[in-house]
Amino acid sequence: MAWLQRLNDPFRQPRADSLGESHGALLERLGPVNPFELAVLGGRAMVTPGLAFLVGYQAALRVLWPSAPASLGALCATERRSVRPADMQTRLDGLRLTGSKDFVTAGLEAEWLLVAARSEGQGEPPRLSLAVVYPGEPGVRLEALPALPLMPEVGHARLHLQQAACELLAGDGWDAYVKPFRSLEDLYVLAALVAWLYGVGQDSGWPRELRLRLLGLLGGCAEGSRQCADSTACHLLLAGLFAQFQGLRGDIDKALAAGPQAWAHCWQRDQGVLALAAAARDKRLEKAWAAAGLS
């Protein structure tokens, strides 16, 4: 486990003028790493949980699309707070996209976008394709959204497409990309945030037992990264990892309260990101629990 051998590096990534510059500097420092190492080592090096989240999100994207560019990207699926294919209006016509997406992580700084779009024929059931578009190209417009109280340093935007040229990725847009990404994002963001907390604990002299429990949780995340993201085993393991993390929350809060208040403030501000997809995780757990014969 190369990540474990490098986890105690005390380096903190300085903030740059932009998220893209910070991400590029991180990649240069880390050197060749796989997505899990990027999430853990990158999350450990960030100065806020919000920036650790962004690193975990980028790592998940690289599992989804292994040939993704090194620059910041985003998956654009949500329309009117839904990712159900039947609720989407964005359409693919040949190699042109028209429609809009509500929420683009990294806002105006994303340099490539994976866009889920309806592609079925007349009278057919809803079907998705996944296409790549690049901000700045004709027909691609990003509208900045107001900063959120949660992770304010990670901007968000709304995407507008008007007959925008695109490239298509192979495979079904739902089964191969949008559906498994929900679990990938949960796993790699959890790994990045746990690594961030481990680094804070190392810097602040947290009790060894608590740091060991965080290491054990990262080991579980490493095993999760070896599972098929849409499998019953992955959903069960992921639910178990979140349950373990929930069991640590009291000790984490106590340790943060006893240390530098800057760390505690950042965590109190951003920790809610882990609860955003809780309802969807619970539904996947119920299905996995039944599929495994555990009901």
The per-residue pLDDT for range 164-208, each reduced to its tens digit, is 999 999 999 999 999 999 999 999 999 999 999 999 999 999 999
Task: Give alpha helix (H) positions in the chain.
Answer: 2-6, 19-30, 35-45, 49-64, 179-204, 208-224, 232-257, 261-270, 278-291
113: pLDDT confidence band, cut at 50, 70 and 90?
A: very high
pTM exceeding 0.85: yes
Output the CATH code of domain 73-168.
2.40.110.10
Task: Give alpha helix (H) positions in 31-48.
Answer: 35-45
Query: Residue 125 has what DSSP assignment?
Result: P
Give the domain ranges of the chain.
2-64+176-291, 73-168
The per-residue pLDDT for range 59-95, each reduced to its tens digit, is 999 999 999 999 999 999 999 989 999 999 999 999 9
pLDDT at res. 1: 63
pLDDT at res. 156: 94
pLDDT at res. 276: 83
Give the list of residues 6+ apart from residue 285 with CB closer than 8 angstroms, or none: 235, 236, 239
Question: How many beta carbons lie within 10 A of that of residue 233, not counting itself?
Answer: 15
| Beta bridge pairs of residue 99 | 161
